[in-house]
Chains A and B, each alone.
Chain A
Amino acid sequence: MKKRLPYIILFILLAWHAVSYAWQRFPKPEFESGYVYPEYQFTNPRSTAWEYIDVGVLAGVLVFTTWLTLKKRSRNAIIWTSLFSLAYFGFFREGCICSIGSVQNMALALFNENYTLPLSAFLFFLIPILFALAYGRQFCAGACPLGAIQEVTGFYSVKLPRSAEAILSSVPYIYLALAILFAATDSHFIICKYDPFVGIFRLNAPATMIIFGILLLLAGLFINRPYCRFLCPYGVILNWLSRFSGSHLTITPTSCVNCRLCEDACPYNAIIPSNLDAPKEKTVTSRKRFTIYLALIPVFVITGALFTLRFSDNLAMINRNVRLANEVRMETVAGIKAVSQQAVTFKESGKTVEVLYQEEEVIKERYRKGSPIAGAFLGLSLGIALLSLSAGRLRDEYKPDQGKCYSCGRCFEYCPLHNNNVPLL
């Protein structure tokens, strides 16, 4: 032990040297002219109190919108509320954090130990969901800045054919599944990356972001609310909760007289017509179809899971460590030189290739677990969508489709019983 002591001391000294490495190559000057070091003023970030003010405003707006859609039934007031949200959450708060993106924070927090979820992000995620469960998609109607900017710019409404609408409506499910998969594996926040309007809110963003936003707004002039209908991943969650909501916006304040005046009111194809006059299908055939579709659901689920499992390694490529490992492997195997910034830094860092490959394998393993779940979710949604198509129902009134309806209130004034004709509820 005594023999080794000098070496141990030398090692400690060397280790200490490593801590204070490379700094102070040149000694600190000894000024004679009475020079004082300049003071530096740190600018602190916005105080945390603002985050909770935001949560308060969100809750307040939701309560107010709920009252407007369910009791007051005023389309104008709803528009003004959503304009306020656009101004506050969009232009003043500059679009971050929003409920749509908060889905990713939830996924990251659920599956990663080292990330602690900020309470405000959690509340931004949860409050609109609770409202959807109780009163329908009030968030989309009055509180979402992305919805608001599209709602006020939807000047003409061209109705899409139902088939095109149905196909495009499947995109948000894929978007949601991928966003959760990528966030849960700590790879990327794609919802934030492809947020269309945040560039417009800040007037300072990469050009591609602003161009995407403007293109969506231009499309939205005719095909209203394109982001909400064909992209928004948070909308998928609200859609499903709203279907079972306790109370929901109604087209008529009293009871429907089947006048058919509201048939073309909704640009989102979210009004389910009554089918009193429609020819009735035989119970036997509809039951048979229902059973077949029910039996198809497991097939869809398994196919979806297998399909995404097959591509899990490709999906993992969105993770930058996997990309880096791939680049390095290409260099060693095929001799293609790794020139990316990541690869250059990796080579300089002195990290061994084995460690990198191990990290890559860990991430890929997570994708192998996660992607079948995403695929199964997609298969399940497809199956349920088919099943709900085949469930024939007797409907004696015009009703909003609770899943699709944004509670925007466009249909109110189409109803002859609206406003002046009857006292408000």
Chain B
Amino acid sequence: MAEKNKYQNRRQFVKQAGRLAVALPVAYLSVSLLRKTSAGEFVWQIDPLKCTQCGQCEKNCVMTPSAVKCMHSFQMCGYCDLCSGYLRQGVKILDTAAENQLCPTAAITRKFIEEPYFEYTIDEELCIGCAKCVKGCTAFGNGSLHLQIKHESCKNCNQCSIAIACPSDAIQRVPISDPYKPKAGYNIDSE
């Protein structure tokens, strides 16, 4: 019996020492991490000024279709008849025919307002975030079309898989209190 007690004491001691050995790093880690903690949450968002319209947003999002959508700053738009975001380059006739449209899913609606202005609106149900229109608009137009991550479809993954693929580092974590980075002139007070 005495023999057994000796082993049990030793085992007890090893266990206590082990517990201390694992608890100390845990405590240390918690304290050092707590100092880097903030109560605010983060979401992913595209900085349209960094975006190079490479088309990775369409392909790399875990969601199908991508949570990245095109947004339109109407305040910046020139309401052109010859819209470089809506029409393919070199079209002969400026109309809504499918073969003239740049958008592969026909997600942009063109509406006549008054001579010579046309309004362009994005149907977000159809938009796949391919950035073709954004590229056209930024290259030849006012740059009023731009990409944003729409938070109703974004799952806010721990690591955004588009951010990994993005060649221009345009996708960053932003505070949840300020979840969009729209281009200037955007009517942000609508919420």
Q: How far is the CA of A228 from the CA of B188 in the complex (A)?
A: 46
Interface stretch, picked from A8-16, A37-45, A368-376, is A37-45
**Which residue of chain A has its CB nearest to the CB of B32?**
A110
A413 an interface residue at 8 Å Cβ cutoff?
no
Report the minimal beta-carbon distance from B165 to chain A, rounded to whole angstroms. Answer: 8
Please provide the chain A residues from 391 to 413 with a CB less than 8 Å away from any CB of chain B in the complex.
393-394
Interchain CB contact under 8 A, A33 and B187: no
Using C-beta atoms within 8 Å of the partner chain, give the interface range for chain A. 35 or more
Please provide the chain A residues from 193 to 233 with a CB less than 8 Å away from any CB of chain B in the complex.
193, 198-199, 202, 204-206, 209
Report the minimal beta-carbon distance from A67 to chain B, rounded to whole angstroms. Answer: 22
A341 an interface residue at 8 Å Cβ cutoff?
yes
Interchain CB contact under 8 A, B15 and A43: no
Interchain CB contact under 8 A, B79 and A48: no
Interchain CB contact under 8 A, B26 and A129: yes
Q: Which residues of A contact B55 (CB under 8 A)?
A: 341
Q: Which residues of A contact B5 (CB under 8 A)?
A: none
Interchain CB contact under 8 A, A117 and B36: yes
Q: Provided the pairs A117-B36, A204-B64, A206-B62 are in contact, do residues A96 and B78 lie with their beta carbons within 8 angstroms?
A: no
Q: Mark A329-366, 1 if CB is under 8 A from B, else 0.
A: 00000000000011011101100000000000000000
Q: How far is the CA of A42 from the CA of B39 in the complex (A)?
A: 23
Q: How far is the CA of A157 from the CA of B41 in the complex (A)?
A: 42
Q: Which residues of B contact A199 (CB under 8 A)?
A: 62
Q: Which residues of B contact A130 (CB under 8 A)?
A: 26
Interchain CB contact under 8 A, B121 and A48: no
Q: Provided the pairs A37-B74, A117-B37, A341-B167 are in contact, do residues A43 and B62 lie with their beta carbons within 8 angstroms?
A: no
B143 an interface residue at 8 Å Cβ cutoff?
yes
Please provide the chain A residues from 223 to 267 with a CB less than 8 Å away from any CB of chain B in the complex.
240-241, 243-244, 246
Interchain CB contact under 8 A, B141 and A342: no
**Which residue of chain B has its CB nearest to the CB of A245?**
B19
A276 an interface residue at 8 Å Cβ cutoff?
no
Q: Which residues of B contact A22 (CB under 8 A)?
A: 138, 143
Q: Which residues of A contact B164 (CB under 8 A)?
A: 188, 320
Contact among B39, B40, B141, B188 for A26, CB-based, below 8 A: B141
A414 an interface residue at 8 Å Cβ cutoff?
no
Interchain CB contact under 8 A, A104 and B159: yes
Q: How far is the CA of A328 from the CA of B125 in the complex (A)?
A: 39
Report the minimal beta-carbon distance from B56 to chain A, rounded to whole angstroms. Answer: 6
Interchain CB contact under 8 A, B187 and A133: no
Q: How far is the CA of A304 from the CA of B11 in the complex (A)?
A: 30
Q: Provided the pairs A96-B155, A116-B37 are in contact, do residues A24 and B7 lie with their beta carbons within 8 angstroms?
A: no
Interchain CB contact under 8 A, B176 and A48: yes
B96 an interface residue at 8 Å Cβ cutoff?
no
Interchain CB contact under 8 A, A205 and B62: yes
Q: How far is the CA of A122 from the CA of B36 in the complex (A)?
A: 10
B9 an interface residue at 8 Å Cβ cutoff?
no
Using C-beta atoms within 8 Å of the partner chain, give the interface range for chain B. 35 or more
Report the minimal beta-carbon distance from A240 to chain B, rounded to whole angstroms. Answer: 6
Q: Which residues of A contact B183 (CB under 8 A)?
A: 23
**Which residue of chain B has its CB nearest to the CB of A340?**
B167
Q: Which residues of B contact A193 (CB under 8 A)?
A: 159, 161
Report the minimal beta-carbon distance from A103 to chain B, rounded to whole angstroms. Answer: 10
Q: How far is the CA of A67 from the CA of B190 in the complex (A)?
A: 50
B113 an interface residue at 8 Å Cβ cutoff?
yes
**Which residue of chain B has its CB nearest to the CB of A123?**
B37
Contact among B56, B158, B167, B188 for A105, CB-based, below 8 A: B158
Contact among A40, A116, A125, A341 for B190, CB-based, below 8 A: A40
A31 an interface residue at 8 Å Cβ cutoff?
yes
**Which residue of chain A has its CB nearest to the CB of B82?**
A26
A-B contact pairs, 29 of them (CB 8 A): A24-B78, A28-B76, A29-B79, A38-B119, A39-B187, A40-B190, A42-B191, A45-B156, A46-B156, A48-B41, A97-B158, A104-B158, A109-B33, A116-B36, A117-B33, A117-B37, A118-B37, A122-B33, A126-B30, A189-B158, A209-B62, A244-B21, A244-B23, A341-B54, A341-B167, A345-B54, A345-B168, A348-B52, A349-B168
Q: Which residues of B contact A (CB under 8 A)?
A: 4, 7, 11, 15, 18-19, 21-23, 26, 29-30, 32-34, 36-43, 52, 54-56, 62-64, 71, 74-76, 78-80, 113-114, 117, 119, 121, 138, 140-143, 150-152, 154-159, 161, 164-165, 167-168, 173, 176, 179-180, 183-184, 186-188, 190-191
Q: Which residues of A contact B (CB under 8 A)?
A: 22-29, 31-33, 35, 37-46, 48, 51, 94, 96-97, 101-102, 104-106, 109-110, 115-120, 122, 125-126, 129-130, 133, 188-189, 192-193, 198-199, 202, 204-206, 209, 240-241, 243-244, 246, 320, 341-342, 344-346, 348-349, 393-394
